[in-house]
Amino acid sequence: MIELTFGQVAEALGGELKFCDPQTLVSGAVETDSRSLVPGGIFFAKLGKELDGHDYLAEAFAKQAALSVVSRETTSQMPQIMVGDTVVALRDLAEFVLQKVRNLGELTVIGITGSNGKTSTKNMLAAILSGDAPTVYPRESFNNEVGLPLTVLKLALDTKYLILELGAAGLSSIHKLASWTRPDIGVQLKVGMAHVGEFGGIETTAIIKAEMMPFISKIAILNQDDPIVSGYRVEAGVASRSFGTSALSDYRILDVDISLQGTIVKFRYPDSEEVLVSLKILGEHQAMNMAAALAVADQLGIERTRAVLELEKLEMAERWRMQPIWTTSGALIINDAYNASPDSMKAALQTLAVIGRQGHRTIAVLGEMAELGPESRESHDAIGRLVVRYNIDMLFVVGEAAKLIHMGAMFEGSWDGESAYFDSISEAFEAISGKLAKGDVVLVKSSNLAGLRFLGDELAAMA
């Protein structure tokens, strides 16, 4: 974080200073998790559903945090600021810091939202921009009312690029994030089925994702292939650029070729310059994320050849996102079990099917797609049937909530042992690990809730 006095922090938060000198300087990292604190940092004692950050003030003090932000009286006498709500205060401090850095005139804020692909696009763009100038971007998927301010608070005075993920958590959630971060460039990736059960339908998801649009100040980067996104209205004075496979796209994907070595994309810029991008990252859908990242970089004036080279260096989009891991026995595990929706599940299975047509036995290990609400039964059944239609060789389904994937596959095809269901991860591991052979390609895919990412790690660690 940029250097501030305790007094400046208190003023930004509208809080009351206690047990400290207002002129004391602080510039350490801001955290809400006491385990991540470093000496000289600021600890926000967040009230959670199960844990109360105020119970960890002693640990914060022991780790030499310079300052704590609290919302109730405690016995601790470490330097602190009393506020009404520590989560609101976290946002207030982030907004204060963002404005101070922005006032220097060198910072560009890029906001990314969409039902799928935010983290991959963020990491691709970060790889490009970090080589050009100081860049701040989220770790993992820090994209909500806590994670996004924590990312902003990593800003230094010389930061040139700030990349933010704007995650949806219901109506007005993205509005709340965009209204104070006000992206110079806003990227709209896709409106899909993720969270459809939680939000009440894809129509609501479309409204939520559109909440960023009024706050984009310079350029909107829109997915031309998505009929909802391509129809979003751009504010007066804001430029619009598009990406996709459509002939109407400014930044166009001309062709995608997938193999075990990665994804090769033929890509065209608005002035008709064509490039071939050899990604180590697997997945036809990653071409769309790549196109969005290259579009932003191009609008920022980043040299095209260097942008492509930076993307080609990336080993993976993110851990547990189409993460390829070779076992010592010669099987390839594609661990994509951090998030799952019908759209992302279909995209991952398409990649597996393409690889299968290159002479590899394909195995899908699938778990629950969470937060689908009334759409859950039909969506899980449809994925099972899709596995059969894609000619995937074997299917293993894990967990009661995903059982309809297995049932759908059985109803769709005349399978005899090609699909198996397991109640637990341990049962699945025992069954799957005994069946893998050299040259097999195994996709492990589920929502985070199902925990299959750990199964993927266990399979990859086999001798």
Q: Superfamily for 4-84?
A: MurE/MurF, N-terminal domain (3.40.1390.10)
Beta strands in 260-331 (DSSP E): 262-268, 274-279, 323-326
CA 56 to chain centre: 29
Task: Give me the pLDDT at residue 450, please.
Answer: 92
Per-residue pLDDT tens digits for 267-324: 999 999 999 999 999 988 999 999 999 999 999 999 999 999 999 999 887 787 888 8
Task: Give me the pLDDT at residue 199, please.
Answer: 64
- Percent of the chain scoring above 90 in pLDDT: 83
- The SS3 assignment for 67 reads strand
- Percent of the chain scoring above 70 in pLDDT: 98
Task: Give me the pLDDT at residue 195, please.
Answer: 54
Residue with tokens 């596959």: 409
Which of these, 190, 428, 442, 456, lies nearest to 320 by C-alpha position? 456
Burial of 185 (0-12, 13-18, 19+ CB in 10 A): buried
Per-residue pLDDT tens digits for 223-277: 999 999 999 999 999 999 999 999 999 999 999 999 888 999 999 999 999 999 9
Per-residue pLDDT tens digits for 437-446: 999 999 999 9
Which of these, 329, 321, 318, 315, lies nearest to 348 by C-alpha position? 321
Task: Give me the pLDDT at residue 41, please.
Answer: 96
pLDDT of 103 > 80? The answer is yes
Residue with tokens 């266990």: 458
Task: Give me the pLDDT at residue 198, please.
Answer: 61
- The helix (H) or strand (E) run that includes residue 209 is helix 202-209
Task: Give me the pLDDT at residue 463, please.
Answer: 47
Task: Give me the pLDDT at residue 197, please.
Answer: 54
Average pLDDT over residues 378-401: 96
Task: Give me the pLDDT at residue 328, please.
Answer: 86
- The SS3 assignment for 451 reads coil
Return the exposure string of 424-451: e unless at least 16 CB atoms fall within 10 Å of the residue's CB, then b. Answer: ebeebbeebeeebeeebbbbbbbbbebb
Q: How far apart are CA 371 and CA 192, in angstroms?
A: 13
Task: Give me the pLDDT at residue 418, please.
Answer: 87
Residues 220, 224, 227, 229, Cα dihedral to 10°: -20
Average pLDDT over residues 90-114: 98
DSSP annotation of 52 reads B
Indicate if the alpha-carbon torsion angle 383, 388, 391, 394 is positive or negative: positive
- DSSP letters, 215-254, are G--SEEEEETT-TTGGGPPPPTT-EEEEEESSTT-SEEEE
Per-residue pLDDT tens digits for 175-220: 999 999 999 999 999 997 655 556 667 889 899 999 999 999 999 9
Q: What is the pTM (predicted TM-score) of this model? A: 0.89
Domain edges within the chain: 4-84, 104-313, 323-460
Residue with tokens 């709209």: 188
Q: Is it true that 4-84 and 104-313 share their CATH fold? A: no
The correct answer on CATH 3.40.190.80 for the domain covering 104-313 is: no
Task: Give me the pLDDT at residue 378, please.
Answer: 95
End-to-end CA distance of the chain: 44
CATH match for 323-460 among 3.90.190.20, 3.40.50.450, 1.10.10.10, 3.40.190.10: 3.90.190.20
Per-residue pLDDT tens digits for 28-81: 999 999 999 999 999 999 988 788 999 999 999 999 999 999 999 999 999 999
Cβ–Cβ under 8 Å, residues 36 and 19 = no
Q: Which amino acid is at 125?
A: L
Token pair recorded at residue 311: 């993307």
